[in-house]
Amino acid sequence: MGAQQTLRASVHPVMRDTIHTMNTPLPKPVIRPRRLRRNPAIRRIVRETRLHRAHLIQPMFIVPGLGVQRPVVSMPGIEQHSIDQALREAERIRNLDLGGIILFGIPESKDPLGSDAYDEQGIVQRAAREIKKEIPDLYVIADVCLCEFTDHAHCGQLKGHDVDNDATLELLGRTATSLADAGVDMVAPSGMMDGMVAAIRSALDRADHSAIPILSYAVKYASAYYGPFRDAADNTPSFGDRRAYQMDPANRREALREATLDVEEGADMLMVKPALAYLDIVRDLKERFDLPIAAYNVSGEYAMIKAAAENGWIDEERLVMESLISMRRAGADMILTYHAEYMAERL
């Protein structure tokens, strides 16, 4: 009898298994997920989500003047461009083979009705016309909202201190039509007005622009992550905030309701904004709807990464990649991001 058997025989049967495991080697795992992580070659083969330049849209801010390239302080690496400079920037973006650009404009002068937004000679219309003339193969999306153009910086025409939803619809229809006339490839209404997609669809169709798709900011939350954008686009409301039209960050079911309405109104793509804090919503929309889904990786998300990187606290390239791949994994087909150019150089 060996020592171990002597011990086993001397203890109560209930205890025997315990002693057994104490004295024999642990069973070896047969199934080992690590086999498929051993080196870059196999990791590349089994990777489930990919990020391609074509998925990325670079936002651009157009300002009046000539030769203007003004850094946005809260968004290191991002500049406001006058139209001549925007052309050079657009050419760089085309050469990087990104998915495209989305244009925001800061007009020479603002008024209560945001009339530059739907002026044939408006800042975005002129920029779009020039860009499409010089670089026709660059895909150009135009943001459709009034807040950069109104002197009060709310997203529509006011009635007292409230945005007059239905009066605003008419202006949004005119804005989208004039942008399509200027040659943009897609319009992206971001003002969270009820019925905005239907109003824009019908205005475009009446103006012979039935081929122009609508990317709806269907689910746009009233978010503190938009802080730096207000510097870039000069659209801080002169009173109050946007919580009476943008969504409450606490709400998930309401996002489905908003998206359903936009699909019924004829949206071609649905966007969720911001991105990282709302990946559950991106996933919800991806599962419920058959339209392509976009995520807007907004200014505050960008600024946080830049600030931490400038302090040497994080690895910028890895963090940007991880953030963008998470948006793709959640279900975003397209990502609007200020990191687009940076990332294109590294993909």
Q: How far is the CB of 301 from ligand PBG (least distance, A)?
A: 8
192 binds, among Zn ion, ligand PBG, none (CB under 5 to 8 A by kind): none
Residues 188, 102 contacting (CB under 8 angstroms): yes
Other CB atoms within 10 A of residue 45 CB: 8
107 binds Zn ion (CB under 5 A): no
145 binds ligand PBG (CB under 6 A): yes
**Residue number with CB closer to ligand PBG (231 or 265):** 231
**Residue number with CB closer to ligand PBG (140 or 298):** 298
Q: How far is the CB of 145 from ligand PBG (least distance, A)?
A: 4
Distance CA 343, CA 347 (A): 6
Measure Cα distances from 19 to 5, 14, 187 in Å.
10, 10, 71
Q: Tokens 């946005």 label which residue?
A: 72
Residues 344, 297 contacting (CB under 8 angstroms): no
147 binds ligand PBG (CB under 6 A): yes
**Residue number with CB closer to ligand PBG (89 or 231):** 231
141 binds, among Zn ion, ligand PBG, none (CB under 5 to 8 A by kind): none
Size of the site for ligand PBG (CB under 6 A): 11
Asked about 133 being catalytic, the answer comes back as: no
298 binds, among ligand PBG, Zn ion, none (CB under 5 to 8 A by kind): ligand PBG
**Residue number with CB closer to ligand PBG (134 or 241):** 241
Provide DSSP, 214-266.
Answer: BEEEEEEB--GGGHHHHHHHT---SSS-STTTSBPTT-SHHHHHHHHHHHHTT
191 binds Zn ion (CB under 5 A): yes
Q: How far apart are the first and last CA of the chain?
A: 67
Residues 285, 253 contacting (CB under 8 angstroms): no
Amino acid at 122: G
x-or-dash pattern for ligand PBG, window 151-190, by CB under 6 A?
----x----------------------------------x
Provide DSSP, 63-129.
Answer: -SSSS-EEE-TTSTT-EEE-HHHHHHHHHHHHHTT-SEEEEEE--SS-BTT-GGGG-TT-HHHHHHH
Q: Which of these, 303, 230, 301, 232, lies nearest to 80 by C-alpha position?
A: 232
Question: From the list 60, 138, 155, 279, which residue makes contact with Zn ion (rule: CB under 5 A)?
Answer: 155
Asked about 132 being catalytic, the answer comes back as: no
Size of the site for Zn ion (CB under 5 A): 4
- Choosing from 110, 133, 159, 220, the catalytic residue is 220
- Per CB under 6 A, which region of 14-22, 142-150, 197-205, 324-332 contacts ligand PBG? 142-150
Contact set with ligand PBG (CB under 6 A): 143, 145, 147, 155, 190-191, 226, 229, 242, 298-299
